[in-house]
Structure 1
Amino acid sequence: MSELLSAGEGGRIERTVLPGGIRIITETVPGLQSETVGVWVGSGSRHESHVAAGSTHFLEHMLFKGTATRSPRDIARGLERTGGDSNAVTAKEYTCYYARCLVSDLDGVGELLWDMVLRSTLDEAEFERERGVIVEELAMAADDPTDQLFEDFEQLAFADQPLGRPVGATRRQIRVLEHSVLREHYEDAYAGPGLVFAAAGGASHAEVVEQVTAHIAGTRAVRPLAQSAKARDTAADALTPALFTPGIHVRERATEQQGIILGTAGLPEGHDDRFVHLVLSNLLGGGMASRLFQRIREEHGLAYSVQTVLSQYSDAGLFGVYAGCAPESSDQVLALVREELLRIADRAPGADEVDDVVSQLAGGTVLGLESTAVRMNRIARHELTAVPLLSAEVLIDRVRSVTPEQIRAHAVGLLSQEWALAAVGPRGDLPMPSLR
């Protein structure tokens, strides 16, 4: 039976749970000829055991490598011939395989995605070939100082915890990952209530449900998820609340710039204060008019890129400031970041400044929802996290209700916490600024 979650001028959101627990959630937007769809798996790198490190991301690659009835080339042709776009993403708490297509092509595209996800052969010869590809992908990321910096920061902030592990694991771990371990991870994660099908666009919910029901018939997706004891232990470990770890991690590299992230514990998804958190983040470093951009780039010319960064997970989050600058300017940049953080905690911003930020966020919300991809991601994340699904009108009202004094008080709370500093570049002697 279908459940109506919301209905308005913008779209109609409905949900159905099929036998075995697989969930379908759709947003129907009348008049659209396109559809964005995704098969979501509620398993990410955080849910891996140590021996299975990297298997979630490896599976993302392998599911494009053939099924019982399709070769890798067949999969690529089937996804590209519709004229839309398709890809996959592995994150710390989920994996998604998605495509954008015409509504008239939805049945074929959906069938292809389900074929990949549920009937992958996981051929061992393909596995060995792809091992080299993934090692090269990780090497490419390691060569990018900014990628390395963000990875270092999360490893520092969640030290020795599943949430701190790199999504793709390390090259050493990929080189020793066994095919049998990958297959076991696939059998554990890709079944039953661990799967969500999300769709946003012109197709009706009934149409999508009918198609998905046909696509998964006779597969293990209609059976409840039966995790192994090892998988259950790993899942329990992954759900242990993540704790922030302060400290300093500096990776010395012969680069032209010094990359810096100064950060602290943020908020998890769905937290009551998330709208205050978001407004504060954008006021400090969310665009060209933000305080950090104006102070560090426009007034002092010390950095091309400076911005706040947020990470949000089911039970934890991170708040940070990123800057890329000349190594000799690093101390001055950190001093200016410190000044701006202390300034907003000392004195609430003016109403006009807050109104500018709120208008920016409200406009971005409305413009974002004109994308079926944004809509599909939003309803899927709701289904995976159980965070209440708010309409665009409610989201905007919540943002507009944020007051200058709430922003100041939230900044005071952030500064009362312990902080961490990660850096990549020639300077190996960066000190942690005092933020109290």
Structure 2
Amino acid sequence: MTKRPEFNFTIAKPDWNIRFPEYEIITSQQGIEVYTIYSDAYDLNYIEFVFENGRLSESKKLSSRICAHQMLEGSKKQTQKEIAEFFDYYGCNYQIISDMDFSLISLNVLDKFFEKVAHYLLEQIYSAEFPKAQLEKGKSSLYSQLQHQLTEPDFVSYRELSASIFGNENIYGYNTTEELIKNIESSDLQNYRKNNFTSDKLKVFYTGKRRSQSFWDELLSIVPGGNDLHVQYISEKNLPLKKHIAMENCAQVSLKMGKRLFEKTHDDYFDFYFLNTLLGDYFGSRLMSVIREEHGLCYDIHSTLDAQLKDGIFYISAELNAEKVKKAIQLIQSELQKISSQVIDKNEMEMVRNYLHGHILRLIDGPYNSILLLKILITEFEDVHAFEKLLQSIHYISDERIRQLSKKYLNPDEMTIVTAGFDKIKN
């Protein structure tokens, strides 16, 4: 029988009088909100254009991801090489990515070059032609990346878990395939950009020296107006299952064990965030203490609260030798039962509070970190006051509330279990 470690020490209480840094909202003539944290201490400016679109807005699967990858691969006036040389000349750090819910365009550049480079960046975005030759190169690169990832048990187990829980046609459940990559054409990317990179979907986040209202009006005037296209999220229910994906040339097994949960704005999110940390999201967590340190079944094990705008999952992940998988699953299930039924040591609760307190302080350490957190609060939680709710939850959550949430969400019988890797798992 596994015995919980004793916490026979006193933990200092942190100062919870934490305030989010001051920020300002500027609204452009087009109605686009620009969230700004001013900083005169540095000559470096950072800006991020965040479009709420992602997979939910797709008319063809993968169009959001590939559109982001191809936006700077050639425009009406500039080739891919010329665009790359421009950014290189001005020493810029830039990125365009698309995830499940958003497309993000970020730029880091010296203040003296900021206005010129920001204008140039948006000009290339909105005049991108998605040339066929560059698209084919991009698709070939994406396919090569996929082929490599499909040899990694951790990647395979996660994609099978998400597909099993959400469903193969769900925006959070469908997986990239060779066929989906081949089906993308330049016209798909043109349509996606036209319909989804619009003013009604855009919020801007900026830190650096103060800019005038006229600058923001001029910079954002290139962004087209909204089109009132709204897509309803469709959710399907799937029963928990257990599956193994045998893979060649794999010495170990990747374990994923999880279930559907809720979206980020759910009332239980912040309390469950604390629960997840205690269970498996920091080095002193229960799963690390029992599965790794006490039983030596793996080097790393962790739990994840993977919540999105419309849905979410919780899962536990570990890399194991095949002969240790069954025992690891049994111990994980035992820990889930214990956390829902046993009183939690006061010092264990305080240790998690202190850990999260330090993590929050790092999130608001300086203007750059603060603007990134502000972006998350506004776009993902839809309210900057979510910061205060998070603090309140961490500070005041009780072990009784932990048990209540565990009983509600962490029933082992409701978990889907996916393993991938070594051909056979020993019982």
Q: TM-score, normalised by structure 2?
A: 0.87
Counterpart selection for 1:11 from 18, 21, 26:
21
Whether 1:171 and 2:178 are equivalent positions in the alignment is yes
Q: Percent identity?
A: 17
Give the C-alpha shift of residue 127 in structure 1: 1.9
* Deviation sequence 1:111-166 (CA, Å, 0-9, x none): 23312322212223322232212222222322322122222211111014423344
Counterpart selection for 2:189 from 178, 182, 185:
182
Whether 1:153 and 2:161 are equivalent positions in the alignment is yes
Tell me the residue number matched to 1:5. Answer: none
1:52-63 residue pairs with structure 2 within 5 A?
52-63=60-71
Structure 2 distance, partners of 1:32, 1:115, is 26
Amino acid in structure 1 at the alignment position of 2:107: A
Give the C-alpha shift of residue 226 in structure 1: 5.7
- Tell whether the 8 Å contact from 1:270 to 1:388 is kept in structure 2 after alignment: no
Give the C-alpha shift of residue 386 in structure 1: 5.5
- CA RMSD of the aligned region, Å? 2.6
Give the C-alpha shift of residue 16 in structure 1: 3.5
Structure 1 distance, partners of 2:320, 2:349, is 28
The 1:106–1:348 alpha-carbon spacing in structure 2 relative to 1, beyond 3 Å, is farther
Amino acid in structure 1 at the alignment position of 2:166: F
Tell me the residue number matched to 1:106. Answer: 114
Between Structure 1 and Structure 2, how many residues are aligned? 408
Tell me the residue number matched to 2:3. Answer: none
- Tell whether the 8 Å contact from 1:366 to 1:392 is kept in structure 2 after alignment: no
The 1:22–1:408 alpha-carbon spacing in structure 2 relative to 1, beyond 3 Å, is same
* Deviation sequence 1:385-411 (CA, Å, 0-9, x none): 462213766643331111111111111
Amino acid in structure 2 at the alignment position of 1:67: S
Amino acid in structure 1 at the alignment position of 2:190: R
* Deviation sequence 1:223-261 (CA, Å, 0-9, x none): 23364xxxx5xx22xx23464652223211131111011
Structure 2 distance, partners of 1:216, 1:316, is 31
* Deviation sequence 1:164-216 (CA, Å, 0-9, x none): 3446x3111111222222221221111221222222x2333x44x54332224
Amino acid in structure 1 at the alignment position of 2:44: S
- Tell whether the 8 Å contact from 1:341 to 1:411 is kept in structure 2 after alignment: yes
Q: Give structure 2 stretches of 5+ with no counterpart.
A: 1-17
Structure 2 distance, partners of 1:366, 1:34, is 22
Structure 1 distance, partners of 2:359, 2:61, is 37
Counterpart selection for 2:96 from 88, 97, 100:
88
Counterpart selection for 1:211 from 211, 215, 232:
215
Whether 1:398 and 2:393 are equivalent positions in the alignment is yes
Structure 1 distance, partners of 2:283, 2:226, is 50
Give the C-alpha shift of residue 371 in structure 1: 5.4
- Tell whether the 8 Å contact from 2:166 to 2:235 is kept in structure 1 after alignment: no
Q: Secondary structure at the match of 2:259?
A: strand
Counterpart selection for 1:305 from 300, 303, 315:
300
- Tell whether the 8 Å contact from 1:68 to 1:120 is kept in structure 2 after alignment: yes
Whether 1:426 and 2:422 are equivalent positions in the alignment is yes
Structure 1 distance, partners of 2:91, 2:181, is 34
Counterpart selection for 1:366 from 356, 361, 383:
361
Q: Which moved further from structure 2: 154-163 or 334-343? A: 154-163
Q: Give structure 1 stretches of 5+ with no counterpart.
A: 1-7, 432-436
Q: Secondary structure at the match of 1:314?
A: coil
- Tell whether the 8 Å contact from 2:27 to 2:33 is kept in structure 1 after alignment: yes
Structure 2 distance, partners of 1:283, 1:101, is 39
Tell me the residue number matched to 1:23. Answer: 33
Whether 1:192 and 2:186 are equivalent positions in the alignment is no
Structure 2 distance, partners of 1:394, 1:226, is 32
Structure 2 distance, partners of 1:31, 1:222, is 34
Q: Secondary structure at the match of 2:300?
A: strand
Whether 1:271 and 2:266 are equivalent positions in the alignment is yes
Amino acid in structure 2 at the alignment position of 1:265: R
Runs of 4+, deviation exceeding 6 Å: none
Q: TM-score, normalised by structure 1?
A: 0.85
The 1:116–1:226 alpha-carbon spacing in structure 2 relative to 1, beyond 3 Å, is farther
The 1:295–1:389 alpha-carbon spacing in structure 2 relative to 1, beyond 3 Å, is same
